[in-house]
Amino acid sequence: MSKSTYSVSSVYYNNLDSGQHTRNGKSYKSYQHALKDFNLLWDENDSLITDESNKTIYAENTINHLVCSLNHYKYNQDAKLLLKKLYSLIDNESITIDNSLTCENTKILLNSSNDFYY
């Protein structure tokens, strides 16, 4: 499995104007943390890492950061795309994650009135 199949864009916090820093800053900062953990799923050859424990940790951390990002700004399309690609990767590679972080449970969490901050 190649990283290019799951590539996403990077949003740099310092590229936001002052209004976006205030309004969307926490969302993009959480997205950057998610992207950092997502990138740890790949080795230097852009192949998926083989350590199952680390796959689980990095996938779960990425989901937590993306949930936080989308709770701060629900229109963050980059975060939505990364979340979609991550769940595709989890399904295709049979990565084991905590039951509370499955796609169905994450949808419920994002659509609930309860705020979740990581």
Tens of pLDDT, residues 34-92: 999 999 999 988 899 999 999 999 999 999 999 988 888 888 888 899 999 999 999 99
**What pLDDT is recorded for position 13?**
57
Q: Which two tokens stand for residue 23?
A: 């309004």
Cα(67)–Cα(44) distance, integer angstroms: 27
Q: Which two tokens stand for residue 18?
A: 């002052």
Say what the pTM is: 0.83
Q: Do the domain assignments include residue 5?
A: no
Task: Give yes or no for residue 96 having a pLDDT over 70.
Answer: yes
Among candidate residues 4, 13, 80, the one with its CA nearest the CA of residue 42: 4
Q: Do the domain assignments include residue 63?
A: yes
Q: How many residues does the chain have?
A: 118
Task: Give yes or no for residue 93 having a pLDDT over 70.
Answer: yes
Is 97 strand, coil or helix? Answer: coil
Q: Do the domain assignments include residue 8?
A: no
Mutual orientation of helices 77-93 and 18-39 as an angle, nearest 10°?
10
**What pLDDT is recorded for position 74?**
84
Q: Count the domains in the chain.
A: 1
Q: Do the domain assignments include residue 96?
A: yes
Q: Which two tokens stand for residue 118?
A: 């990581």
When pLDDT is cut at 50, 70 and 90, the band that residue 118 belongs to is very low
What residues are paired with 42 via a beta bridge? 48
Q: Do the domain assignments include residue 4?
A: no
CA 24 to chain centre: 16
Q: What is the mean pLDDT of residues 95-108?
A: 90
Q: Do the domain assignments include residue 10?
A: no
Q: Do the domain assignments include residue 116?
A: no
Task: Give yes or no for residue 10 having a pLDDT over 60.
Answer: yes
The residue segments making up the domain with residue 28 are 16-111
Q: Do the domain assignments include residue 6?
A: no
When pLDDT is cut at 50, 70 and 90, the band that residue 33 belongs to is very high
